[in-house]
Structure 1
Amino acid sequence: MKVVIQRSKQASVTVDGNITGAIDQGYVLLVGITHTDTIEDIQYVAKKVAELRLWEDEDGKMNHSILEHGGDILSVSQFTLYAETKKGRRPSFIEAARPEVAKPLWEDFNEALRSLGLKVETGIFGAMMDVSLINDGPVTIILESK
């Protein structure tokens, strides 16, 4: 599992002209699932997202988690995180999980975040999405479960 975390001041996902998810301050999560991911990977990464200290304290140090600081999650499925680009010019996505595997795991990931006390908005799995965000910092972190 691979997740790109972008700390944001505001973000939204639009599909076919309709907003499917929107947050004010929080994280935009671009979520990639590979074919070997399990529920243990999902739980590990969800806990890591919730507890990572990416928000500044009064001294300007990144010392607070999103749970302590406050904020919401906008979760967007993104199989292209598993693009293989070593050969040729067209990426291969063979390492990305098939939709019938990835979608339930992505949904489990979102539920795991909710169970940790976070409000989670989402895009639509498999849809062409317009993702808009104001990156805060910018702070961008890549997490991998393996």
Structure 2
Amino acid sequence: MRALLQRISHAKVTVDEVVVGQSGPGLLIFVCAMQGDDEQQAAKLAAKVSKLRIFKDDAGKMNRSIVDSGGSALVVSQFTLAANTASGNRPGFSEAAAPETGKHLYDVFAQYLVSHGIAVEKGKFGADMAVELINDGPVTIWMDSQ
């Protein structure tokens, strides 16, 4: 699985002008299941995210995890993280998992974050979503379960 994490002060996602999820302070996590991924990759990625020390400690250094800081997460599905731009001007997305697998692993990933003690809200899988955020730092990190 692949994820793009942004440390946020606040974020929200809307579908048809209705807020379906919001979070902050904490993380906005865009996530994509890739071909061949399974629940083990979802668990591994959630564990990595939950332990990643990118939140400030009392000295102002990035030394605390989302769990340590008491932050929450907004998890948004984004198959475009699988984009292959190696040739031409139009990205290919054949490396993304099939939609039914992607949705299952997206839900499983979110459940694993909850099992690590993180409050989670989600976007709507497969929907045309509008995402608003205030990036804190800015801190943006790319992660793969591999």
* TM-score of the pair, normalised by structure 1: 0.98
Paired residue type of 1:93: F
Corresponding position: 1:138 with 2:138: yes
Paired residue type of 1:69: S
**Following TM superposition, by how much is the alpha carbon of 1:38 offset from its aligned partner in structure 2, in angstroms?**
1.3
Partner of 1:102: 102
Q: How does 1:75-114 map to 2 (within 5 A)?
A: 75-114=75-114
**Where does the alignment leave 5 or more consecutive residues of structure 1 unmatched?**
none
Corresponding position: 1:11 with 2:32: no
CA offsets per residue over residues 85-133 of structure 1, 9 Å max, x none? 1111111100011101110011000001111111110100000000000
3-state SS in 1 of match to 2:111: helix
Partner of 2:122: 122
Partner of 1:45: 45
Partner of 1:60: 60
> 1:48 and 1:116 mapped to 2: Cα distance?
11
The answer to whether the 8 A contact 2:24-2:73 is kept is no
**Following TM superposition, by how much is the alpha carbon of 1:24 offset from its aligned partner in structure 2, in angstroms?**
2.2
State the aligned residue count: 146
Partner of 1:69: 69
3-state SS in 1 of match to 2:140: strand
CA offsets per residue over residues 13-66 of structure 1, 9 Å max, x none? 000010000112010000011011111111111011111111111222111111
Paired residue type of 2:65: S
Paired residue type of 2:141: I
Partner of 1:32: 32
Paired residue type of 1:25: P
> 1:27 and 1:130 mapped to 2: Cα distance?
17
3-state SS in 1 of match to 2:19: strand
Alignment identity in percent? 47
